[in-house]
Amino acid sequence: MAIRKLSPETVVQMLKDNGILKVKLFDADQNTMTALAGSGIEVMVAIPNDQLAVMIITYVAVGNEPFLTSYNGSFLNTTFPALRNIQNALNDAGVGDSIKATVPLNADVYSSPTDQAYPSSGRFRSDINDLMTQIVQFLSQNKAPFTVNIYPFLSLYGNDDFPFDYAFFDGAPQPVVDKGTGIQYTNVFDANFDALVSALKAAGYGDLPIIVGEVGWPTDGDRNANTGYAIRFYNGLLPRLVGNRGTHSTSAWLH
């Protein structure tokens, strides 16, 4: 207890000055976590007692979209070690069977080559292929899912030539035909998801469970970001989730 609270930065420095390298926190206050980041101090984060009854933790997200090309490789050397450490800690604590660590990744970690631009030719990005293979191997060994964020809106946002209706679920006038399988795709979400399935198969882990961590449509900030288009998008997405409908490459329910 203290009458005047010290700043998190001051406390962290005091801990280091006194050789204290492990701390227990009663919550995950952002300022405190920021001060501890990079300090070399091990942290135990508690769930408050009044939240225990309603807390059902099944996954621990390690970072968020760490391999975005805009990061210029800043997190290439730290993401997999963090994933491994967290899952191993869960395993050592005896909860690894029910709580899995996973890395939410952006859909730009995989793509199809320009001369074979269809889902069945999906592969992990060449600059991170070896790293992605290590990650999916570790996820598979621990029966953890691959987590991906898919935003069809971004296909429109980044490409003026992108077929507008293909971003929605109610059917593009001209389906895109996968020349490798003959499958016709009427929306980019299915095509994107199946490109990931192909990339996982190419890496030898085609049966790895997939979770869609983020999907949605914005309502402001761009000419295609408005309430009408968002309603159209969700009117197509939600019935699929309720109906447990998968994509062409998987009949499994989309999580």
- Please state the domain extents for the chain: 1-48, 56-242
| CA pair distance 250, 246, nearest whole angstrom | 6
Under DSSP, the state recorded for 253 is P
Let me know if 9 is a catalytic residue. Answer: no
- pLDDT number for residue 27: 83
12, 35, 62, 65: the catalytic one is: 65
- pLDDT number for residue 5: 82
- pLDDT number for residue 246: 66
Question: Which residues on adjacent β-strands are paired with residue 87?
Answer: none
CATH class of residue range 56-242 = alpha beta
Dihedral, CA of residue 242, residue 247, residue 250 and residue 254, to nearest 10: -30
Let me know if 42 is a catalytic residue. Answer: no
9, 108, 165, 214: the catalytic one is: 214
**Which tokens go with 199?**
């990339």
Residue 153 CB burial class (10 angstroms; 0-12, 13-18, ≥19): buried
- pLDDT number for residue 254: 56
- pTM for this model (two decimals): 0.82
Q: Which amino acid is at 195?
A: A
Q: Tens-digit pLDDT profile for the chain (255 aa)?
A: 445 788 999 999 999 988 888 888 888 889 999 999 999 998 888 777 777 677 788 999 999 999 999 999 999 999 999 999 999 999 998 999 999 999 999 999 999 888 888 999 999 999 999 999 999 999 999 999 999 999 999 999 978 889 999 999 997 788 989 999 999 999 999 999 999 999 999 999 999 999 999 999 999 999 999 999 999 999 999 888 877 776 766 654 455
Q: Which is nearest to 101 in space by CA: 151, 61, 138?
A: 61
- pLDDT number for residue 243: 73
